[in-house]
Structure 1
Amino acid sequence: MPRTSYAIAIGSNRRGRHGSPAQEVMAAIRALGGVTAASPIHHTPPLGPSKRRFANAVTLIESNEAPPALLRRLKGIEHAFGRRRGQNWAARVIDLDIVLWSGGSWGEPRLTVPHRLFRQRDFVLAPLVQVAPDWRDPVTGLSMRQLYARLRRKR
């Protein structure tokens, strides 16, 4: 596969072997490889039943991997960091999600790119705008800057 770019959302709200949630996010960025840009860490309130605040960031990476291969690698990193599958919305040491791919859209049962919910998530769009404001959503055609402005207006 030719070299392509991905936007990866990273989040943590539980201490792990690297330290605080922010330190877990920084360690995950180092573990990704091929990083071309990384947003500052944003501290955000939790969604769902978790009571712990999140540390969130978005990084851009370059890779020769197709989306399913990258997803397998991301799940391996999560596992190495101590993430265990289980309850949705629970505290987690690390969460890595493919948000966008320079190849456009990808759809299969286990993976949809762009991420289905990224347009509704301030904790993804705010850091994404910092690293890729002009990247266009292949579904809506809108830039990240435009999507973020729309989300902010809804509040």
Structure 2
Amino acid sequence: MAKAWLSLGANIGDPAAQLAEAVRRIGAADEVTVTQQSKVIITKPWGKTDQPDFANMALEVETALEPLRLLDLLQAIETAMGRVRHETWGPRVIDIDIVAYERQVLETERLTLPHPFAHERAFVLDPLAEIAPETAAWLVGRTAGPA
């Protein structure tokens, strides 16, 4: 089983309930076990700032799914929960990103690992540091230096 770290966020509807439901759905999926979860933090929007504050959290999961299959699962959960992709960095019912998958470096049309903006986003790093400080430090060190 591989370890992966996820970042979750929501800012429309009932964000706390939507995060809890996303965690439940991720944990109920075949070949995925939630092993740790951070507390929920409230943060200002990033990128597009004229929208409600976000509720954010991080999860550590163990999975038998390869990265792209895990991405498929997470996007299916987002869709089932009502996520519609209208605009980049816009408001959302739920957002689930793979921040890191083991220490894999991957760049495909659909997925870049580690997440290319993780080192710039306290709303990703702060919850991640709560549950996986070594992974948060690896992301900062890897993405802040030469590729």
Q: Smaller-chain TM-score range? A: 0.7 to 0.9
Q: How many residues align?
A: 137
Q: Secondary structure at the match of 2:83?
A: coil
Cα RMSD of the aligned pairs, angstroms, is 1.8
1:100 maps to 2:100: yes
CA contact (8 A) 2:11 2:52 kept: yes
Aligned-residue offset at 1:90: 1.5
Q: After superposition, what is the alpha-carbon deviation per residue over 1:78-119, rounded to whole angstroms, capped at 9, x for unaligned?
A: 000000122112210000000011142122111001000000
State the one-letter code of the partner of 2:125.
Answer: L
Q: Distance in 2 between matches of 1:46 and 1:24?
A: 17
Query: Structure 2, unaligned stretches of length 5 or more?
Result: 28-32
Percent identity between the two aligned chains: 35
Moved over 3 A (4+): 138-142
Q: Distance in 2 between matches of 1:138 and 1:128?
A: 10
- In the other structure, the counterpart of 2:30 is none
Q: Secondary structure at the match of 2:100?
A: strand
- In the other structure, the counterpart of 1:151 is none
1:21 maps to 2:15: yes
CA contact (8 A) 1:35 1:60 kept: yes
CA contact (8 A) 2:99 2:115 kept: yes
Query: Structure 1, unaligned stretches of length 5 or more?
Result: 148-155
User: Structure 2-normalised TM-score?
Assistant: 0.87
1:56 maps to 2:56: yes
Q: Distance in 1 between matches of 2:87 and 2:139?
A: 31
Aligned-residue offset at 1:27: 1.0
Q: Distance in 2 between matches of 1:67 and 1:28?
A: 18
Which of residues 25, 33, 51 in structure 2 aligns to 1:31? 25
